[in-house]
Amino acid sequence: MKLILSTALALMATSTAYAADLTLTVTGMKTDTGNVMIGVYDKADRFLQVEGIVARGRVPASHDAVTYVFKNLAPGQYAISIFHDANNNGKLDKNFMGIPTEPIGMSRDAKGSFGPPRYEDAVFSLPADGMSMTIKVE
């Protein structure tokens, strides 16, 4: 019994999950009104879908820059989508063709071509010791 217990404890000790902090700096806001809305995604098939967000943040806008820290994310692959909700209505406004009318930004400066950016263009690796990144909204 002692052998089973000590083996189980050893396995638990080696499978400790590491949690990383992701510090985001967002630039490019033209006004101080509204909020900067941030979504973190970990799957390509759910990228840019509300139900695909694994972590979210909101910070008051500033025309200089804003910073938001996601604490204790599991190391791994992520993509980030940001928009400046300038009119503070809680959603990304779009024109009649579905094109955003509020400033947006993506990790790795991913841009869409005749549609939204792809997850593969925005994905990055978050290491166990965390990282910082700057995203500009346009």
Residue 13 has pLDDT above 70, yes or no: no
pLDDT the model gives residue 17: 60
Contact 106, 79 (CB under 8 A): yes
pLDDT-derived band of residue 53, with 50, 70 and 90 as boundaries?
very high
Q: Which of 8-12, 18-22, 48-52, 102-106 has the lowest mean pLDDT?
A: 8-12
pLDDT tens for 76-114 read: 999 999 999 999 999 999 999 999 999 999 999 999 988
Q: What is the pLDDT, as a whole number, of residue 114?
A: 87
pLDDT of 9: 42
What does the pLDDT look like over 126-136, one tens digit per residue? 999 999 999 99
For the entire predicted model, the pTM comes to 0.86
Contact between residue 37 and residue 58 where contact means Cβ atoms under 8 Å apart: yes
**Fold of the domain spanning 18-136:** Immunoglobulin-like (2.60.40)
74/14 Cα distance (integer angstroms): 16
The pLDDT assigned to 106 comes to 98
Least confident interval from 13-22, 26-35, 42-51: 13-22
How far is 124 from 115, CA to CA, in rounded Å? 21
Q: Please report, rounded to a whole number, the percentage of residues in the chain having pLDDT higher than 90.
A: 83
